């Protein structure tokens, strides 16, 4: 955890004013740049010192055997792990024969700034070598949001006090030495030099390396070109071997003279294309980037982000930290998905190798909601990736004795990568999460072509899974047994409420989509009998409820379990999974992350139809003292429902925890990469929590309420070709249509229409006062 303020609190940037080597790995994640296809961790330009070197291409992974003490039928045999591909960031520097290494000499000044409006990482450094020579180094780095294959850096050196010999070595390096990973030694072995050389080239200012993974058979090509500018004379030379290509630039500079290198790096990978084709691909990408030039790449990046912020910005008045954090969050969520283009959005994005680079259900339920209303094209691409992995999901369902598609709990290539089946295979809710995301996207965009060509097949195959996984009892009630819901401390449960309600929504959505697209449904083999069976299962699904205490159960029988002994659980025993056996966690009332509470948000229409506000408040109050938030996914969900039930101070505290998850390293693992879902949850806490934003069929409804700490909150949403701005004050909300046709929305249950004639303002009623629920000991929201 970062206990001292490391980053200056500024509305449009994250600025580090001093270099703390103990926090270098965390800052490398915070300062990572990505476009969803390429990921560059925020390593120092010179490569060393570093916490974790990281250059990633979305989808590039290596295979390794999964460990089992005992074999079992249906266990996945092969794991997938993201690998560090060829590093094109490197610009090593020698100053009068002294390596520029910040661990030696004297660091006079070091500042790095992530500019959220320009999409660049800027660095300024002043350093005195052990021999007494002082230089200034400036660099600007970007990963292009407009040219998918391109990343670039401008690096400038200037002597301060004496004539100085400067040597810059610009390199491409493959199979870098990495810190030993914790855990399975077989994974570590698979990641030792995972790339086999196929081609190396150095010709003038141009460098290129082509490699192939040993087991997964993926070919990776990286090429670089350079523009060198100086007022002094220079000499250059280039060389290459199997794993290194290098351009060396030498000059002697007087004080005030500068040596500037603009390095452009092109990336590509394929599991099918030949070596010559991959070489040509990255050379073509370099040619396109050269046409723009460095200034053009920066201008394109600024224009892209100007457009994004115009339709996605969230303004927070009254809390500067949360203002900075939500823009930081939106920027990284955008980076994770902007150019992923039919690839997964991993839980860490492309900011680190945590979770082995896998994608989970986090994508559909936390990340895609943000992108649906801010960058919807990225959502369509992410869901097309899920459609493309349907063959693997169908095979997995067949292996499990089920129909339809069983999507993996964790994956890179679409196959199951979880070796622990209670938290992996049994978490079938991922299928409904994918369906939910497809329905959400279609409702928010009106993209009927997508619904017909992509969403329908996802809905049909997931509906078939639920119909075969569940069963009707002798009373005709539909049950889904032996599954794991979002709460990973309650595995192999009966009738998990979240799973059952999400399955219900999935089944009904599939039946309705088949009615709208009968020809495509027939092509998928859906007939009236199958569609009717889906509806019947949906309408009769069991939702467990404890009449005695008046709350919905997280799963059948949960409220009759013994409560966890919180009084004898010390602060140093969290997260519980690292100190207690899962056997004990599974049979007690203790919750890792919000489950029933999440259901009240994601399936709010069902709760609205079957419950009053007091029932929802009772549910929330019951589960709060049991939820220990050993997952970064929990705080944002609790923030949303806390706001809904009128606990605005508690909602504010949870929103702050989600917002500062990485900027303050609250879970002590930001070094492995950012928590992209928690970052997305910052938006969720503000927009769905305090904004009260909910999708209502093909419309939007709002129940805004502002915490005392905020004087004003404003946000923008993209919805069916419109851009809507919502501004919330202490006692009123204002809705302004910035573009598009008139739109009818609901404010606290009342319909209103916004159009181009001007803003519409409505009063915000005060929430009903209720006792604030307790949290488990030692687990109150992280105070700042």
- Provide the pLDDT confidence category of residue 1 given band limits of 50, 70 and 90: low
Compute the distance between CA of residue 453 and CA of residue 434 in angstroms, rounded to an integer: 15
525 Cβ contact list (under 8 Å, min separation 6): none
Kindly report the number of other CB atoms within 10 A of residue 19's CB atom. Answer: 18
Segments forming the whole domain that contains residue 65: 13-284
CATH number at residue 56: 2.70.98.40
| Contact in structure between 696 and 746 (CB atoms under 8 Å) | yes
Are 247 and 324 within one domain? no
Whether residue 403 has pLDDT greater than 70: yes
Are 464 and 401 within one domain? yes
Mean pLDDT of 262-279: 97
Quick check: is 392 in a domain? yes
Which residue among 733, 755, 773 closes a domain? 733
Phi, psi of 494 (to 5 degrees): -100, 130
> What angle do helix axes 429-445 and 456-469 make, rounded to 10 degrees?
150
Of 457, 488, 530, 727, the catalytic one is: 488
277, 280, 285, 289 alpha-carbon torsion, rounded to 10° = 180
Residue with more model confidence, 394 or 193: 394
Q: Which of 58-72, 83-97, 172-186, 496-510 bottoms out in mean pLDDT, i.e. has the lowest?
A: 172-186
CATH number at residue 674: 1.50.10.10
The pTM for the full model equals: 0.96
Are 504 and 631 within one domain? yes
Beta bridge partners of 92: 169
Are 238 and 320 within one domain? no
Instruction: Check residue 186 and give its pLDDT.
Output: 45
Percent of the chain with pLDDT over 90: 93
Instruction: Check residue 756 and give its pLDDT.
Output: 87
Instruction: Check residue 4 and give its pLDDT.
Output: 61
Residues 468-505: tens digit of each pLDDT: 999 999 999 999 999 999 999 999 999 999 999 999 99
Mean pLDDT of the chain: 95
DSSP 414: S
Total domains in the fold of the chain: 2
**Could you tell me the sign of the dihedral formed by the alpha carbons of 16, 19, 24, 28, in that order?**
positive
Are 377 and 259 within one domain? no
**Could you tell me the sign of the dihedral formed by the alpha carbons of 487, 661, 676, 692, in that order?**
positive
Look at strands 244-253 and 234-240 and give their pairing: antiparallel
| Contact in structure between 197 and 222 (CB atoms under 8 Å) | no
Instruction: Check residue 754 and give its pLDDT.
Output: 97
Quick check: is 524 in a domain? yes
Are 279 and 318 within one domain? no
Return the exposure string of 109-124: e unless at least 16 CB atoms fall within 10 Å of the residue's CB, then b: ebebbbbbbbbbbbbe
Are 357 and 468 within one domain? yes
Are 366 and 226 within one domain? no
SS (H, E, C) 20-82: CHHHHHHHHHHCCEECCCEEECCCCCCCCCCCCCCEEECCCEEEEECCCCCCCCCCCCEEEEE
Quick check: is 127 in a domain? yes
| Contact in structure between 592 and 484 (CB atoms under 8 Å) | no
Are 264 and 364 within one domain? no
Residues 124-167: tens digit of each pLDDT: 999 999 999 999 999 999 999 999 999 999 999 999 999 999 99
Closest C-alpha to 39, from 353, 385, 366: 353
Instruction: Check residue 95 and give its pLDDT.
Output: 96
Quick check: is 494 in a domain? yes
Closest C-alpha to 655, from 684, 693, 697, 618: 684
- Provide the pLDDT confidence category of residue 231 given band limits of 50, 70 and 90: confident
Look up residue 292 and give its two tokens.
Answer: 């723009």
Mean pLDDT of 602-615: 95
Phi, psi of 473 (to 5 degrees): -85, -175
H/E stretch holding 285: helix 275-312
Instruction: Check residue 784 and give its pLDDT.
Output: 66
Beta bridge partners of 121: 114, 141
| Phi-psi sector, 610: left (phi>0), alpha (psi -120 to 50), beta | alpha
Are 629 and 502 within one domain? yes
Kindly report the number of other CB atoms within 10 A of residue 401's CB atom. Answer: 9
Quick check: is 511 in a domain? yes
Instruction: Check residue 782 and give its pLDDT.
Output: 80
Instruction: Check residue 600 and give its pLDDT.
Output: 98
Whether residue 783 has pLDDT greater than 90: no
Are 134 and 196 within one domain? yes
- Provide the pLDDT confidence category of residue 189 given band limits of 50, 70 and 90: low
Whether residue 185 has pLDDT greater than 60: no
Residues 4-42: tens digit of each pLDDT: 678 999 999 999 999 999 999 999 999 999 999 999 999
Percent of the chain with pLDDT over 70: 98
Compute the distance between CA of residue 682 and CA of residue 660 in angstroms, rounded to an integer: 9
Quick check: is 291 in a domain? no
363 three-state secondary structure: helix
Residues 673-690: tens digit of each pLDDT: 999 999 999 999 999 999
Residue with more model confidence, 1 or 272: 272
Instruction: Check residue 177 and give its pLDDT.
Output: 85
Quick check: is 779 in a domain? no
Whether residue 649 has pLDDT greater than 90: yes
Mean pLDDT of 193-214: 96
Whether residue 104 has pLDDT greater than 90: yes
Instruction: Check residue 181 and give its pLDDT.
Output: 60
| Contact in structure between 239 and 169 (CB atoms under 8 Å) | no
Kindly report the number of other CB atoms within 10 A of residue 712's CB atom. Answer: 13
Quick check: is 298 in a domain? no
Look up residue 539 and give its two tokens.
Answer: 């309408």
- Provide the pLDDT confidence category of residue 192 given band limits of 50, 70 and 90: confident
User: Binding-site residues, please?
Assistant: 361-362, 592-593
Closest C-alpha to 203, from 151, 252, 238: 238
User: Binding-site residues for substrate, please?
Assistant: 361-362, 592-593
Instruction: Check residue 69 and give its pLDDT.
Output: 77
Look up residue 660 and give its two tokens.
Answer: 């500062």
H/E stretch holding 114: strand 106-115
End-to-end CA distance of the chain: 12
Closest C-alpha to 464, from 403, 535, 387, 392: 403
529 is catalytic: no
Are 262 and 356 within one domain? no
């Amino acid at each position: 955890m970062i206990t001292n303020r490391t980053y200056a609190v500024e509305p449009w940037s994250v600025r580090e004013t001093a270099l703390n080597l103990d926090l270098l790995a965390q800052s490398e994640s915070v300062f990572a740049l990505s476009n969803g296809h390429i990921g560059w961790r925020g390593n120092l330009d010179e490569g060393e010192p570093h916490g974790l070197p990281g250059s990633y291409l979305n989808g590039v992974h290596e295979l390794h055997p999964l460990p089992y003490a005992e074999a079992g039928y249906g266990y996945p045999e092969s794991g997938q792990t993201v690998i560090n591909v060829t590093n094109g960031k490197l610009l090593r520097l020698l100053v009068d024969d002294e390596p520029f290494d910040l661990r030696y000499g004297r660091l006079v000044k070091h500042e790095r700034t992530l500019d959220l409006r320009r999409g660049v990482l800027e660095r300024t450094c002043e350093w005195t070598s052990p021999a007494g020579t002082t230089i200034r180094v400036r660099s600007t780095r970007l990963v292009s949001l407009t040219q998918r294959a391109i990343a670039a850096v401008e690096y400038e050196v200037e002597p301060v006090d004496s004539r100085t010999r400067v040597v810059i070595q610009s390199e491409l390096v493959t199979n870098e030495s990495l810190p030993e990973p914790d855990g399975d030694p077989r994974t570590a072995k698979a990641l030792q030099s995972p790339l086999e050389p196929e081609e190396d080239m150095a010709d003038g200012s141009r460098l290129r390396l082509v490699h192939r993974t040993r087991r997964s058979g993926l070919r990776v090509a990286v090429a670089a070109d350079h523009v060198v500018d100086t007022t002094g004379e220079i000499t250059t030379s280039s060389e290459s071997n199997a794993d290194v290509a290098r351009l060396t630039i030498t000059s002697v500079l007087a004080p005030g003279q500068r040596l500037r290198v603009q390095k452009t790096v092109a990336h590509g990978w394929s599991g099918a294309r030949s070596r010559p084709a991959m070489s040509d691909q990255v050379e073509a990408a370099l040619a396109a980037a050269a046409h723009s030039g460095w200034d053009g790449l920066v201008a394109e990046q600024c224009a892209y982000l100007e457009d994004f912020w115009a339709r996605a910005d969230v303004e927070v008045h009254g809390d500067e930290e949360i203002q900075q954090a939500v823009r930081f969050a939106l920027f990284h969520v955008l980076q994770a998905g902007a150019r992923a283009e039919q690839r997964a959005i991993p839980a860490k994005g492309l900011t680190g190798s945590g979770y082995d680079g896998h994608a989970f259900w986090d994508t559909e339920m936390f990340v895609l909601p943000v992108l649906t209303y801010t960058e919807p094209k990225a959502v369509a691409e992410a869901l097309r990736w899920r459609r493309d992995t349907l063959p693997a999901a169908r095979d997995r369902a067949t292996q499990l004795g089920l129909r339809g598609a069983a999507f993996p709990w964790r994956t890179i290539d679409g196959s199951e990568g979880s070796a622990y089946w209670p938290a992996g295979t049994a978490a079938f809710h991922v299928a409904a999460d994918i369906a939910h995301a497809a329905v959400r996207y279609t409702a928010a965009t009106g993209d009927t072509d997508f619904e017909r060509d992509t969403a329908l097949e996802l809905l049909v195959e997931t509906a078939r899974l639920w119909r075969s996984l569940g069963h009707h009892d002798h009373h005709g009630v539909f049950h889904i047994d032996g599954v794991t819901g979002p709460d990973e401390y309650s595995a192999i449960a009966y009738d998990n409420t979240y799973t059952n309600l999400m399955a219900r929504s999935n089944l009904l959505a599939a039946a309705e989509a088949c009615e709208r697209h009968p020809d495509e449904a027939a092509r998928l083999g859906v007939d009236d009998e199958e569609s009717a069976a889906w509806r019947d299962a949906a309408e009769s699904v069991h939702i467990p409820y404890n009449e005695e205490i008046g709350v919905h159960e997280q799963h059948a029988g949960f409220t009759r379990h013994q409560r966890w002994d919180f009084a004898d659980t010390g602060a140093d025993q969290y997260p519980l999974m690292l100190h207690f056996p899962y056997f004990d966690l599974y049979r007690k009332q203790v919750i890792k992350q919000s489950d029933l509470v999440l259901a009240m948000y994601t399936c709010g229409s069902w709760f609205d139809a079957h419950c009053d506000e007091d029932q929802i408040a009772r549910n929330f109050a019951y589960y709060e003292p049991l939820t220990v938030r050993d997952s970064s996914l929990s705080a944002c969900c609790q923030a949303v429902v806390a706001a809904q039930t009128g606990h605005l101070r508690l909602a504010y505290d949870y929103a702050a925890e989600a917002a500062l998850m990485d900027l303050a390293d609250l879970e002590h693992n930001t070094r492995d990469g950012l928590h992209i879902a928690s970052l997305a949850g910052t938006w969720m806490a503000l927009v769905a929590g305090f904004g009260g934003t909910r999708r209502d069929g093909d419309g939007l409804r709002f129940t805004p309420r502002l915490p005392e700490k905020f004087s004003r909150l404003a946000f923008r949403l993209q919805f069916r070709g419109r851009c809507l701005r919502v501004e919330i004050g202490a006692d009123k909300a204002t809705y302004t249509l910035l573009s598009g046709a008139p739109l009818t929305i609901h404010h606290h249950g009342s319909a209103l229409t916004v159009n181009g004639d001007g803003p519409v303002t409505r009063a915000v009623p005060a929430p009903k006062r209720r006792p604030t629920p307790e949290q488990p000991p030692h687990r109150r929201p992280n105070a700042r």
